Amino acid sequence: MGEFRKKKIQLFFIYLFLSAGLILNLAPLAWMLSTSFKPGSEVFRFPPKWIPDSLELVNYKKVFSMIPFERYYLNSILSALLITFITVLLCMMAGYAFAKMKFPGRNILFMFFLITLMIPFQATMIPLFRMVSSFGWIDTFQGLIIPQISTAFGIFLVRQFMLSMPDAILEAAQIDGCSEMRKFWHIVVPMNGSVMATLAIFTFNTAWNNLLWPLLVTNSEKMRTLPVGMALFKSSRDIDWTAIMAGSVMSLIPMIILFLLMQKQFIRGITAGAVKE
Protein backbone atom coordinates (compact mmCIF):
# COMPACT_ATOMS: atom_id res chain seq x y z
CA MET A 1 0.00 0.00 0.00
CA GLY A 2 2.79 2.38 0.93
CA GLU A 3 4.58 1.76 -2.32
CA PHE A 4 1.40 2.26 -4.31
CA ARG A 5 0.88 5.65 -2.66
CA LYS A 6 4.46 6.63 -3.31
CA LYS A 7 4.07 5.76 -6.97
CA LYS A 8 0.90 7.81 -7.19
CA ILE A 9 2.53 10.86 -5.67
CA GLN A 10 5.48 10.44 -7.99
CA LEU A 11 3.16 10.27 -10.98
CA PHE A 12 1.36 13.39 -9.84
CA PHE A 13 4.62 15.33 -9.80
CA ILE A 14 5.55 14.05 -13.24
CA TYR A 15 2.23 15.33 -14.59
CA LEU A 16 2.76 18.65 -12.84
CA PHE A 17 6.28 19.01 -14.23
CA LEU A 18 5.31 18.05 -17.77
CA SER A 19 2.31 20.38 -17.77
CA ALA A 20 4.43 23.30 -16.59
CA GLY A 21 6.94 22.48 -19.29
CA LEU A 22 4.19 22.30 -21.84
CA ILE A 23 2.98 25.81 -20.99
CA LEU A 24 6.51 27.17 -21.36
CA ASN A 25 6.90 25.19 -24.56
CA LEU A 26 3.80 26.64 -26.16
CA ALA A 27 4.13 30.18 -24.78
CA PRO A 28 6.18 31.53 -27.72
CA LEU A 29 3.59 30.30 -30.19
CA ALA A 30 0.80 31.71 -28.06
CA TRP A 31 2.64 35.03 -28.00
CA MET A 32 2.86 34.94 -31.78
CA LEU A 33 -0.86 34.29 -32.08
CA SER A 34 -1.86 36.99 -29.60
CA THR A 35 0.48 39.60 -31.13
CA SER A 36 -0.98 38.90 -34.55
CA PHE A 37 -4.34 40.24 -33.35
CA LYS A 38 -3.05 43.31 -31.51
CA PRO A 39 -2.90 46.88 -32.78
CA GLY A 40 0.70 47.99 -33.41
CA SER A 41 0.72 50.26 -30.38
CA GLU A 42 0.18 47.32 -28.00
CA VAL A 43 3.01 45.05 -29.11
CA PHE A 44 5.36 46.20 -26.36
CA ARG A 45 2.74 47.12 -23.77
CA PHE A 46 3.17 45.29 -20.48
CA PRO A 47 1.97 43.54 -18.38
CA PRO A 48 1.37 41.26 -21.34
CA LYS A 49 -2.10 40.66 -22.60
CA TRP A 50 -2.23 37.06 -23.79
CA ILE A 51 -5.82 37.10 -24.94
CA PRO A 52 -6.41 39.96 -27.38
CA ASP A 53 -9.44 42.26 -26.95
CA SER A 54 -10.83 41.46 -30.35
CA LEU A 55 -10.16 38.94 -33.04
CA GLU A 56 -9.83 41.52 -35.77
CA LEU A 57 -8.02 40.43 -38.86
CA VAL A 58 -6.55 43.86 -39.63
CA ASN A 59 -2.96 42.60 -39.40
CA TYR A 60 -3.74 39.60 -41.55
CA LYS A 61 -5.10 41.85 -44.28
CA LYS A 62 -2.16 44.19 -43.86
CA VAL A 63 0.35 41.43 -44.70
CA PHE A 64 -1.19 41.03 -48.13
CA SER A 65 -0.95 44.74 -48.88
CA MET A 66 2.57 45.20 -47.53
CA ILE A 67 4.17 42.24 -49.34
CA PRO A 68 2.97 39.93 -52.14
CA PHE A 69 2.17 37.33 -49.51
CA GLU A 70 -0.26 35.34 -51.66
CA ARG A 71 2.48 34.99 -54.27
CA TYR A 72 4.95 33.67 -51.67
CA TYR A 73 2.31 31.25 -50.51
CA LEU A 74 1.59 30.01 -53.98
CA ASN A 75 5.30 29.60 -54.74
CA SER A 76 5.84 27.67 -51.52
CA ILE A 77 2.92 25.34 -52.05
CA LEU A 78 3.70 24.76 -55.70
CA SER A 79 7.42 24.15 -55.24
CA ALA A 80 7.02 21.98 -52.12
CA LEU A 81 4.34 19.85 -53.80
CA LEU A 82 6.31 19.40 -57.01
CA ILE A 83 9.54 18.60 -55.16
CA THR A 84 7.69 16.06 -53.03
CA PHE A 85 5.91 14.44 -55.95
CA ILE A 86 9.02 14.04 -58.08
CA THR A 87 11.24 12.95 -55.21
CA VAL A 88 8.81 10.32 -53.99
CA LEU A 89 8.23 8.92 -57.47
CA LEU A 90 11.94 8.71 -58.28
CA CYS A 91 12.86 7.22 -54.92
CA MET A 92 10.11 4.61 -55.07
CA MET A 93 11.29 3.47 -58.49
CA ALA A 94 14.99 3.48 -57.72
CA GLY A 95 14.48 2.05 -54.24
CA TYR A 96 12.48 -0.78 -55.75
CA ALA A 97 15.17 -1.44 -58.35
CA PHE A 98 17.86 -1.59 -55.70
CA ALA A 99 15.81 -3.81 -53.40
CA LYS A 100 14.25 -6.27 -55.79
CA MET A 101 15.88 -6.20 -59.21
CA LYS A 102 19.15 -7.88 -60.09
CA PHE A 103 21.47 -6.12 -62.47
CA PRO A 104 25.21 -5.76 -62.96
CA GLY A 105 26.73 -2.94 -60.96
CA ARG A 106 23.84 -2.79 -58.52
CA ASN A 107 25.94 -2.75 -55.37
CA ILE A 108 28.44 -0.28 -56.72
CA LEU A 109 25.70 2.11 -57.82
CA PHE A 110 23.97 1.80 -54.48
CA MET A 111 27.20 2.55 -52.63
CA PHE A 112 27.61 5.57 -54.86
CA PHE A 113 24.22 6.91 -53.75
CA LEU A 114 25.05 6.16 -50.12
CA ILE A 115 28.33 8.03 -50.29
CA THR A 116 26.68 11.14 -51.68
CA LEU A 117 24.45 11.16 -48.60
CA MET A 118 27.50 12.44 -46.77
CA ILE A 119 27.87 15.54 -48.95
CA PRO A 120 26.05 18.37 -47.21
CA PHE A 121 24.13 20.70 -49.49
CA GLN A 122 25.70 23.71 -47.79
CA ALA A 123 29.13 22.61 -48.98
CA THR A 124 28.28 22.45 -52.67
CA MET A 125 25.69 25.18 -52.97
CA ILE A 126 28.00 27.90 -54.30
CA PRO A 127 29.35 25.97 -57.32
CA LEU A 128 25.83 24.61 -57.75
CA PHE A 129 24.56 28.16 -57.86
CA ARG A 130 27.15 29.11 -60.51
CA MET A 131 26.11 26.12 -62.58
CA VAL A 132 22.41 26.78 -62.25
CA SER A 133 23.03 30.37 -63.21
CA SER A 134 24.96 29.27 -66.32
CA PHE A 135 21.84 27.30 -67.30
CA GLY A 136 19.95 30.59 -67.09
CA TRP A 137 17.83 29.16 -64.27
CA ILE A 138 18.20 31.97 -61.72
CA ASP A 139 14.83 33.28 -60.62
CA THR A 140 12.94 30.47 -62.36
CA PHE A 141 10.81 27.62 -61.09
CA GLN A 142 13.12 24.96 -62.49
CA GLY A 143 16.04 26.60 -60.71
CA LEU A 144 14.05 26.66 -57.49
CA ILE A 145 12.79 23.10 -57.74
CA ILE A 146 15.18 20.77 -59.55
CA PRO A 147 18.28 21.26 -57.35
CA GLN A 148 16.10 20.59 -54.30
CA ILE A 149 15.25 17.11 -55.56
CA SER A 150 17.68 15.00 -53.62
CA THR A 151 17.03 11.31 -53.89
CA ALA A 152 19.89 9.57 -52.06
CA PHE A 153 18.23 9.51 -48.64
CA GLY A 154 14.83 8.53 -50.03
CA ILE A 155 16.28 5.70 -52.10
CA PHE A 156 18.03 4.39 -49.02
CA LEU A 157 14.84 4.60 -46.96
CA VAL A 158 12.64 2.96 -49.60
CA ARG A 159 15.14 0.19 -50.31
CA GLN A 160 15.42 -0.74 -46.63
CA PHE A 161 11.66 -0.92 -46.42
CA MET A 162 11.17 -2.92 -49.62
CA LEU A 163 13.79 -5.52 -48.76
CA SER A 164 11.21 -7.11 -46.49
CA MET A 165 8.59 -7.31 -49.25
CA PRO A 166 7.89 -10.98 -50.12
CA ASP A 167 9.40 -12.09 -53.44
CA ALA A 168 6.68 -14.64 -54.14
CA ILE A 169 4.09 -12.13 -55.26
CA LEU A 170 6.55 -10.37 -57.57
CA GLU A 171 7.61 -13.65 -59.10
CA ALA A 172 4.02 -14.65 -59.64
CA ALA A 173 3.46 -11.43 -61.55
CA GLN A 174 6.60 -12.08 -63.52
CA ILE A 175 5.35 -15.50 -64.57
CA ASP A 176 2.07 -13.90 -65.61
CA GLY A 177 4.11 -11.79 -67.99
CA CYS A 178 3.85 -8.49 -66.13
CA SER A 179 6.34 -5.86 -67.25
CA GLU A 180 8.43 -4.18 -64.56
CA MET A 181 6.51 -0.94 -64.98
CA ARG A 182 3.18 -2.70 -64.52
CA LYS A 183 4.48 -4.58 -61.50
CA PHE A 184 5.67 -1.30 -60.05
CA TRP A 185 2.32 0.48 -60.37
CA HIS A 186 0.03 -2.42 -59.54
CA ILE A 187 1.96 -4.26 -56.85
CA VAL A 188 4.90 -2.31 -55.48
CA VAL A 189 3.25 1.09 -55.01
CA PRO A 190 0.05 -0.18 -53.34
CA MET A 191 2.05 -2.46 -51.05
CA ASN A 192 4.38 0.28 -49.84
CA GLY A 193 2.03 3.11 -49.02
CA SER A 194 3.43 3.68 -45.55
CA VAL A 195 7.02 4.28 -46.59
CA MET A 196 5.70 6.51 -49.35
CA ALA A 197 3.81 8.61 -46.82
CA THR A 198 6.86 8.80 -44.56
CA LEU A 199 9.06 9.99 -47.39
CA ALA A 200 6.44 12.41 -48.70
CA ILE A 201 6.05 14.11 -45.33
CA PHE A 202 9.80 14.25 -44.78
CA THR A 203 10.35 15.80 -48.21
CA PHE A 204 7.46 18.23 -48.01
CA ASN A 205 8.53 19.47 -44.59
CA THR A 206 12.12 19.98 -45.73
CA ALA A 207 11.04 21.84 -48.87
CA TRP A 208 8.44 23.97 -47.07
CA ASN A 209 11.04 25.10 -44.52
CA ASN A 210 13.99 25.54 -46.85
CA LEU A 211 15.44 29.04 -46.68
CA LEU A 212 18.99 28.89 -47.99
CA TRP A 213 18.54 27.66 -51.57
CA PRO A 214 15.46 29.76 -52.41
CA LEU A 215 17.27 32.74 -50.91
CA LEU A 216 20.23 32.20 -53.24
CA VAL A 217 18.34 31.34 -56.39
CA THR A 218 15.51 33.88 -56.37
CA ASN A 219 15.92 37.60 -57.01
CA SER A 220 12.52 38.99 -57.74
CA GLU A 221 9.63 39.28 -55.32
CA LYS A 222 7.40 37.17 -57.49
CA MET A 223 9.67 34.11 -57.16
CA ARG A 224 10.18 34.19 -53.39
CA THR A 225 8.90 31.42 -51.17
CA LEU A 226 7.38 31.96 -47.73
CA PRO A 227 10.58 31.54 -45.68
CA VAL A 228 12.51 33.92 -47.95
CA GLY A 229 9.70 36.44 -48.12
CA MET A 230 9.14 36.40 -44.37
CA ALA A 231 12.86 36.61 -43.54
CA LEU A 232 13.30 39.60 -45.84
CA PHE A 233 10.09 41.18 -44.56
CA LYS A 234 11.71 41.40 -41.13
CA SER A 235 14.83 43.06 -42.50
CA SER A 236 12.84 45.83 -44.16
CA ARG A 237 13.39 49.20 -42.54
CA ASP A 238 10.31 49.64 -40.35
CA ILE A 239 9.61 46.36 -38.67
CA ASP A 240 5.87 45.81 -38.30
CA TRP A 241 5.74 43.09 -35.67
CA THR A 242 1.99 42.60 -35.82
CA ALA A 243 2.11 41.97 -39.57
CA ILE A 244 5.15 39.69 -39.21
CA MET A 245 3.36 37.64 -36.57
CA ALA A 246 0.23 37.42 -38.70
CA GLY A 247 2.33 36.21 -41.63
CA SER A 248 4.07 33.71 -39.35
CA VAL A 249 0.75 32.32 -38.14
CA MET A 250 -0.39 31.89 -41.72
CA SER A 251 2.79 30.09 -42.76
CA LEU A 252 2.53 27.77 -39.79
CA ILE A 253 -1.15 26.89 -40.16
CA PRO A 254 -0.97 24.32 -43.00
CA MET A 255 1.73 22.41 -41.13
CA ILE A 256 -0.26 22.40 -37.88
CA ILE A 257 -3.42 21.19 -39.63
CA LEU A 258 -1.59 18.42 -41.49
CA PHE A 259 0.20 17.45 -38.31
CA LEU A 260 -2.92 17.21 -36.19
CA LEU A 261 -4.67 15.17 -38.87
CA MET A 262 -1.85 12.67 -39.31
CA GLN A 263 0.20 12.78 -36.12
CA LYS A 264 1.66 9.29 -36.40
CA GLN A 265 2.75 9.57 -40.03
CA PHE A 266 4.07 13.05 -39.39
CA ILE A 267 6.23 12.06 -36.46
CA ARG A 268 7.51 9.08 -38.40
CA GLY A 269 8.14 11.23 -41.46
CA ILE A 270 10.05 13.98 -39.71
CA THR A 271 12.13 11.66 -37.57
CA ALA A 272 12.83 9.41 -40.59
CA GLY A 273 16.25 11.00 -40.97
CA ALA A 274 17.37 9.83 -37.57
CA VAL A 275 16.04 6.29 -37.63
CA LYS A 276 17.98 5.06 -40.58
CA GLU A 277 17.15 1.40 -40.28
Partner 1 sequence: MGELYLPLTERMENMSGHITTEPDRILVSRKPNIFREMIRSKEAYGFILIPLILLIVFSLIPMLYGFFMSFTNWNGLQSPKYIGIENYTNILQSKDFHKALMNTVKFSIVSLAAGMGVALILALGIDKLTRLQNFFKVTYFIPVITPMVVVSLVWSLIYNEKGLLNYFIGVMGIEPVGWLTDKKIAMYSIIFTSVWQGMGFSMIIFLAALQKIPEHLYEAAKIDGAGGFKSFWNVTFPGLKDTFAFLLIYGVIGAFNVFDQIYVMTAGGPVKSTETIVFQIFTNFRYLKLGYTSALSYIFLFMLLIISLIQFKLIYKKEE
Considering only residues 106 to 135 of the shown chain, the ones binding partner 1 according to CB under 8 A are: 106, 109, 112-113, 116-131
Taking the complex as a whole, the smallest distance from the CB of residue 39 to partner 1 amounts, in Å, to: 15
Task: Report helix, strand or coil for 276.
Answer: coil
Residues 65-104 that bind partner 1 (CB under 8 A): 90-91, 93-94, 96-98, 101-104
Residues 214-233 that bind partner 1 (CB under 8 A): 215-216, 226-227, 230-231
Give the long-range contacts of residues 222-226, CB within 8 A, separation 24 or more.
222/68, 222/71, 223/75, 223/139, 223/140, 223/141, 223/144, 224/71, 224/72, 224/75, 225/72, 225/75, 225/76, 225/79, 225/144, 226/72, 226/73, 226/75, 226/76, 226/251
d(CA 82, CA 258): 17
Taking the complex as a whole, the smallest distance from the CB of residue 209 to partner 1 amounts, in Å, to: 4
Is residue 52 a contact partner of residue 249, using CB atoms and an 8 Å limit? no
d(CA 49, CA 57): 17
Can you tell me which of 9, 20, 111, 212 binds partner 1, judged by CB under 8 A? 212
Contact map string, positions 240 to 259, toward partner 1, x by CB under 8 A: -x--xx--x--xx--xx--x
Can you tell me which of 58, 149, 191, 197 binds partner 1, judged by CB under 8 A? 149
Size of the site for partner 1 (CB under 8 A): 98
Peptide bond into 47 cis (omega under 30): yes
Taking the complex as a whole, the smallest distance from the CB of residue 174 to partner 1 amounts, in Å, to: 5
Other beta carbons within 10 Å of 75 = 22
Residues 14-43 that bind partner 1 (CB under 8 A): 14-15, 17-18, 21-22, 25-26, 28-29, 31-32, 35, 43
Amino acid residing at 86: I
Tell me: does residue 161 bind partner 1 (CB under 8 A). no
Tell me: does residue 276 bind partner 1 (CB under 8 A). yes
Task: Identify which of residues 61 and 106 has a Cβ nearer to partner 1 in the complex.
Answer: 106
d(CA 85, CA 80): 9
Tell me: does residue 155 bind partner 1 (CB under 8 A). yes
